């Protein structure tokens, strides 16, 4: 995202007075046996610096562990997305909807390993399936019945899928999808959207996080590598498009149609900022790619949790290929690509070769099948009901006080939140994060959620789990109201409160 957007992270922190980690708790907590301190005090409106300082103090053990780990692991951990402002939060265990940290805090998990843990933690059905499978062997150079069983479950659920091929991650399955598209069309170039993230491969880690300085004109975005080490030959092979730009996108696709093997997209983007594509826009993409012979790929790595038939089922639009990940492994590493038999048969007749040591790993497919078994139509109704309640209640509250705070996204159990630059603003493209999102205040909300007992995705996202109760959702809604009110206060007189969910 742009420097002014959600990814605006600070590398140094100013000294500031510490403040109550749990300001804004209401009297419901007292009824649960959490006793307040009677002393009252006045502080300035909640700032990013205050939230950072409280985070550093409240998660100090995690801070020390980060520094210690840096001696052996670059940055302290193998995923830089673990960074949560100053450093990551180290955990000791998870149970149900909650995680417990090395610092002694118990947090409602709104991250859920970046949408993976849709059942919550230590789910009995998933744990039982793994414990039954492990005594018979963990890893083989032979296929097992479990792989076909999970494939059939996905075929039954996802409208576009007739055959499935598994890998270890959605990054790999995106690479497989691109290779399939190139092999079956005889073309090389890839079209993708600005803000779309499709893994860390050289061919696709492009323009997920462009900035106002390097992104070029919205009418013809520049392909920008998101990391050093990506050759210019890869950026030259990518045509970058603007989300929800009907006329501009159609014109670019037509102009480059003879070069394009595929168009890959997220129906709702995630890592590059949460943007939901318009129904009319997606229908146009389906129509024009079919007309021009361009393979249409939906990356449903995250959005498969939108419903029993994925987000494509809710749009009612069928792509040629679908990339899947996250929830399909039940918490273990697994990716998949599925699609029409016509295209997928290229993996069988020798036109495309893909093979990896752990592809279709026994334990991953066992866990995936156990997870999908729990994800019934009723389970999705519960998940999405929680999401709709969060969106409706908080946006109505925010609108009623003319606040710039907003919950956004398509409306399923992966939600975005942002503090906009002014009330009523809506995110419709990646570039809206540059122009319309107050990065400092949004980061303040993320840090304060952690300080008050909730663990979101730091860039402004929440991923719900089936383990969450109505009471958990109520607590989240009230806590977000309290944080936003504190940010917007000229001055506040508050009671000191105990640390949220301390263990």
Catalytic residues: 197, 299, 326
- HSE-up of residue 454 (Cα within 13 Å, Cβ side): 28
Calpha distance 336→325 (Å, rounded): 6
Cβ pair 497, 32 in contact under 8 A: no
Left (φ > 0), alpha (ψ -120 to 50) or beta: where does 4 sit?
alpha
The C-alpha angle 465, 401, 37, rounded to 5 degrees, equals: 70
Q: What is the DSSP string of 476-503?
A: HHHHHHHHHHHHH-SEEEEE--PPTTB-
**Rounded distance between C-alpha atoms, residue 429 and residue 278, angstroms:** 11
Gap between the Cα atoms of 371 and 365, Å rounded: 10
Residues 365 and 188: beta-carbon distance below 8 Å: no
Q: Can you tell me the distance from the alpha carbon of 168 to that of 360, in angstroms, rounded to the nearest whole number?
A: 7
The CA angle 66-112-224, to the nearest 5 degrees, is: 70
Task: Please say whether the beta carbons of 7 and 439 come within 8 A.
Answer: yes
> Do 281 and 244 meet the contact criterion of CB atoms below 8 Å apart?
yes
Distance between CA atoms of residues 415 and 417, nearest Å: 7
- Tokens 């944080």 sit at which residue? 483
Neighbours of 213 (CB within 10 A): 9
CA atoms within 13 A on the CB side of 280: 4
The label of the residue with tokens 């029409």 reads 340
40 bridge partner residues: 495
CA distance 476 to 111: 13
Q: What is the CA radius of gyration of the chain?
A: 23
Record the tokens describing residue 330, joined without a space: 């039940």
User: How many of the other CB atoms lie within 10 Å of CB of 259?
Assistant: 14
Phi, psi of 144 (to 5 degrees): -130, 165
Q: Which two tokens stand for residue 284?
A: 């146009």
Contact 340, 320 (CB under 8 A): yes
Total residue count of the chain as it appears in this document: 503
> E-assigned strands of 119-257?
163-167, 189-193, 216-217, 220-221, 238-241
């Amino acid at each position: 995202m742009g420097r002014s957007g959600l990814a605006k992270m600070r590398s140094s922190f100013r000294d500031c007075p510490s403040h109550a980690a749990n300001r804004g708790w209401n009297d419901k907590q007292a009824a649960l046996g959490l006793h307040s301190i009677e002393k009252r005090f006045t502080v300035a409106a909640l700032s990013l610096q205050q939230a950072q300082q409280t985070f550093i103090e409240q998660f100090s053990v995690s801070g020390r562990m980060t520094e210690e780990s840096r001696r052996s692991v670059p940055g302290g951990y193998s995923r830089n997305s673990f960074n949560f402002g100053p450093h990551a939060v180290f955990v000791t265990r998870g149970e149900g909807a909650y995680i417990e940290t090395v610092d002694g805090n118990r947090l409602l998990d709104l991250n859920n390993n970046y949408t993976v843990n849709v059942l919550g933690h230590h789910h009995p059905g998933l744990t039982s399936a793994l414990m039954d499978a492990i005594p018979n062997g963990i890893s083989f150079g032979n296929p097992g019945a479990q792989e076909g069983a999970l494939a059939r479950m996905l075929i039954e659920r996802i409208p576009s899928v007739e055959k499935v091929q598994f890998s270890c991650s959605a990054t790999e399955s995106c690479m497989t999808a691109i290779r399939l598209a190139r092999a079956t069309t005889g073309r090389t170039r890839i079209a993708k959207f600005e803000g779309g993230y499709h893994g860390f491969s050289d061919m696709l880690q492009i323009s997920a996080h462009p900035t106002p300085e390097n992104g070029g004109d919205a009418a013809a975005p520049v392909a920008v590598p998101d990391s050093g080490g990506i050759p210019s030959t890869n950026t030259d092979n990518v045509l970058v498009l603007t989300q929800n730009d009907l006329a501009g996108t159609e014109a670019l696709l037509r102009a480059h149609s003879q070069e394009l093997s595929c168009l890959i997209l997220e129906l709702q983007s995630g890592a590059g900022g949460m943007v939901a594509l318009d129904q009319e826009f997606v229908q146009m993409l389906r129509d024009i790619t079919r007309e021009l012979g361009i393979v249409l790929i939906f990356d449903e790595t995250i959005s498969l949790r939108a419903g029993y038939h994925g987000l494509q089922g809710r749009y009612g639009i069928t792509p040629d290929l679908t990339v899947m990940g996250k929830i399909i492994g039940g918490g273990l590493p697994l990716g998949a690509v599925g699609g029409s038999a016509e295209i997928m048969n290229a993996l069988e007749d020798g036109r495309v070769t893909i093979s990896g040591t752990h592809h279709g790993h026994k334990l991953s497919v066992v866990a995936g099948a156990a997870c999908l078994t729990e994800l019934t139509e009723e389970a999705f109704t519960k998940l999405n009901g929680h999401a709709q309640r969060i969106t409706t209640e908080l946006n109505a509250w925010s609108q009623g006080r003319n606040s710039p705070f907003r919950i956004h996204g398509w409306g399923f159990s992966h939600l975005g939140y942002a503090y906009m630059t002014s009330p009523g603003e809506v995110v419709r493209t990646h570039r809206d994060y540059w122009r319309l999102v107050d990065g400092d205040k949004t980061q303040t909300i993320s840090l304060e959620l952690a300080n008050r007992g909730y663990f979101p995705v730091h860039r402004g996202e929440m991923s719900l789990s089936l383990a969450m109760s109505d009471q958990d959702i109520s607590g989240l809604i009230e806590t977000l109201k309290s944080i936003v009110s504190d940010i917007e206060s000229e001055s506040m007189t508050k009671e000191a409160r105990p640390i949220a969910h301390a263990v």
